[in-house]
Every structure is written in C-alpha cells, then in structure tokens.
C-alpha cells in the first residue's frame, strides 16, 4: 500500500501510521515501506513518522535496525549526551533554555553519519522541536561571492578542550592517552597543541561544500555559523573573549584561508538557514528520519521534561563526497 504523505507549509514531509499496535508490527511496517521511505528521504531530505508504538529506547533501537544498514560512530564529541546503550543516545543534554543552531552532524570529521534517526520518548510542555533545513535550499539562498569563497578555501575549525569551558579532551576523544589523541589527529588532518593545565587546542580545515554521494547534488555542509563566535550570546561572548581571548574560545570558525569570519557573514548564513527551516512539534513515539548530508538540524528551547533520543547510521566518507579542498594537517604543531 502506497503511503499517504502529508505536505504542509513550514513542516517536514509527514506520514501518519494507523493500526500498528505492537513492535513486531512496527518492524514489519518499516520493512514493507523501506524502499518508499528511502526514496522520499532522498527527495525531501527529512521525514516525520507518527503513529508507531514506540515507548522506550529499546523500541527505538528495534526500528533503527530496520531502517539502517549499518551504525555510525559519534567521533570528536562536542556536546554532552546520555548513553542509553545499544548505540542510542540523548540528542543533547545542553540546558533547555539554549537553542541549538542548525548544523550537519559531524561535518568536521572525515567520516560522518549518512542518516540520523530521532525519536520522542517524552514530549516537552512547550517548544523543543527539532527543526530541519534542506541544505540544498540553504546553498541556493547564499550570496554567490560567499559561496565561492568557501568553495575555494573551505572552513577552519579551532577547538579548545578544557574542563571548565567545554568538553575535556579525554571525553571528546574517548581516551586517556595523549599519544592516542595525537595519532588520531595525525591520521585525520588535524593540527594539535597541548597547553597548560592539561588543555588541548586543535585546528582542522574541511570542505564547506560537498556533493551527496548518491544524487551528486552540491550542498552547504559545515558548522561555520554553528560554532562561530558571532553565534554566541553577546554578553557571553564578551565574557569569554575577555577571559580567554578569541584563540581560547571553546569553538571558533573561519574561512579556510585564515581570514576572519565577520558578523555580517554569519547573519547571511543564519538568514539562509531560517528561510529553509521547517519543524513539527513532538508527540510521544514520533520519529524524524534525516539524511545528514542533505539536511541540517537544530533544537528549539523548551519548557518541561523532554526526552529525545538519536541514533546515527550508514557512515559516509568525506572523500566520497567530492570535497572542494584537500584534507591536510592544519598549522598547529604538537
């Protein structure tokens, strides 16, 4: 039976599933419609599924395994998450009042998840949607001169790992060995520099535009606006810059040629994301399937309890996405 899709302005493509009462039936439903779901995902970049009887992380993992051909790792960790086992995590543990800007998961790594699957186990009282934006549309909205600059030079990410201002390096790299961190950085085109008080600074340059390995479409794929100093609350930015300097911020971004990123450029990026963004309020059991290369995602602030879990699947190598800049070790030294 062909699925009946709901297309509404401002909302992701949605299907409401009726009559599925058990998890065995849910698995069978996903298997029956798998090809149609994947075809629609490629066209639209994200899909909302409502009506499956998912009430636990275990139920969610069952559906995940029907949708994903393989699981993907979460590398170079950047935000706190709870681990529910079986490669199921909280979407984020950042404070409820904090909005999370649009981004493509792990755009800064050399291998990233091709698919993301979110699920609502507890819906918040207010807010808390997971907005999505088709980054084909984002790219089309950006000024051509901005696009060409990033196409030619890529984007640079500088991170500072310290216990009190961000994740420490042991958590981010899942190791207590400095030698392991240095080996990972060397293998992944990342410059590194150890500091005082057990701190670490890294820098990497990545392509800001890639092509989807399945469709060949070019997309805006990065964390440029997400981790820019200009995306911080102005008061927080002033405090952090005053305390640590721009080079000491937890995260900062720039064009890959090392020139500064301006507030106006970040405002242009924000405007393009906003124009492409759609959202739907969560209900318990809802699923959101995302093609991570075609679609960015974020989080709205919320009130009340909220439990959104996520799984990552079908890893994709950056090298298979026709990056516009080569991966080379960045300028920091060991």
Determine the pLDDT at residue 232: 92
The span from the CA of 95 to the CA of 92, in Å, is 9
Q: Examine domains 5-134+277-319 and 138-270 and report if their fold is the same.
A: yes
Determine the pLDDT at residue 330: 66
Determine the pLDDT at residue 333: 58
| Average pLDDT of adjacent 10-residue blocks, the chain of 334 residues | 88 96 97 97 98 97 97 87 94 91 97 98 97 98 97 97 88 96 96 94 97 98 97 91 89 94 97 98 98 98 97 98 87 62
Strand segments, DSSP code E, in 51-144 are 89-90, 100-103, 111-122, 126-127, 132-134
Q: Where are the domains of the chain?
A: 5-134+277-319, 138-270
CB-based burial label for 120 (10 Å; 0-12, 13-18, 19+):
buried
73, 111, 125 from 313: Cα distances, Å: 8, 11, 30
Determine the pLDDT at residue 331: 63
CATH architecture of 138-270: 4-Layer Sandwich (3.60)
The span from the CA of 239 to the CA of 234, in Å, is 9
Kindly report the CATH class assigned to 5-134+277-319. Answer: alpha beta
Determine the pLDDT at residue 277: 98
Determine the pLDDT at residue 164: 79
pTM for the structure as a whole: 0.95
């Amino acid at each position: 039976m062909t699925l009946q899709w709901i297309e509404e302005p401002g909302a992701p493509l949605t299907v409401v599933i009726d009559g599925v009462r058990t998890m065995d039936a849910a698995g069978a439903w996903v298997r029956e419609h798998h090809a149609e779901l994947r075809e629609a995902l490629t066209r639209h970049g994200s899909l909302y599924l409502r009506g499956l009887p998912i009430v636990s992380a275990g139920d969610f993992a069952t559906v995940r395994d029907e949708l994903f051909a393989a699981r993907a790792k979460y590398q170079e960790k950047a935000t706190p998450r709870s681990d529910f086992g079986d490669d199921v995590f909280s979407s984020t543990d950042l404070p409820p009042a904090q909005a999370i800007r649009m981004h493509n998961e792990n755009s800064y790594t050399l291998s990233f998840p091709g698919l993301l699957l979110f699920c609502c186990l507890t819906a918040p009282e207010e807010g808390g949607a997971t907005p999505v934006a088709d980054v084909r549309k984002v790219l089309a909205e950006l000024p051509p001169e901005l696009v060409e600059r990033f196409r030619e030079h890529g984007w640079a990410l500088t991170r500072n790992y310290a216990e009190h201002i961000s994740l420490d390096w042991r958590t981010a790299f899942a190791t207590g060995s400095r030698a392991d961190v240095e080996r990972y950085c060397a293998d992944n085109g990342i410059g590194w520099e150890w500091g005082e008080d057990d701190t670490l600074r890294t820098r990497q340059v990545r392509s800001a535009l890639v092509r989807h390995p399945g469709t060949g479409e070019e997309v805006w794929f990065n964390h440029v606006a997400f981790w820019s100093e200009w995306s911080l609350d102005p008061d927080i930015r002033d405090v952090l810059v005053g305390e640590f300097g721009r080079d000491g911020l937890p995260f900062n971004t720039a064009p890959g040629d090392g020139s500064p990123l301006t507030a106006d450029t970040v405002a242009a990026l924000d405007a393009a994301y906003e124009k492409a963004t759609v959202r739907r309020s969560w209900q318990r059991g809802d699923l959101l399937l995302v093609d991570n290369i075609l679609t960015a995602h974020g989080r709205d602030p919320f009130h009340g309890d909220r439990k959104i879990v996520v799984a990552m699947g079908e890893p994709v190598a950056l090298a298979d996405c026709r990056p516009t800049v080569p991966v080379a070790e960045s300028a920091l030294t060991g």
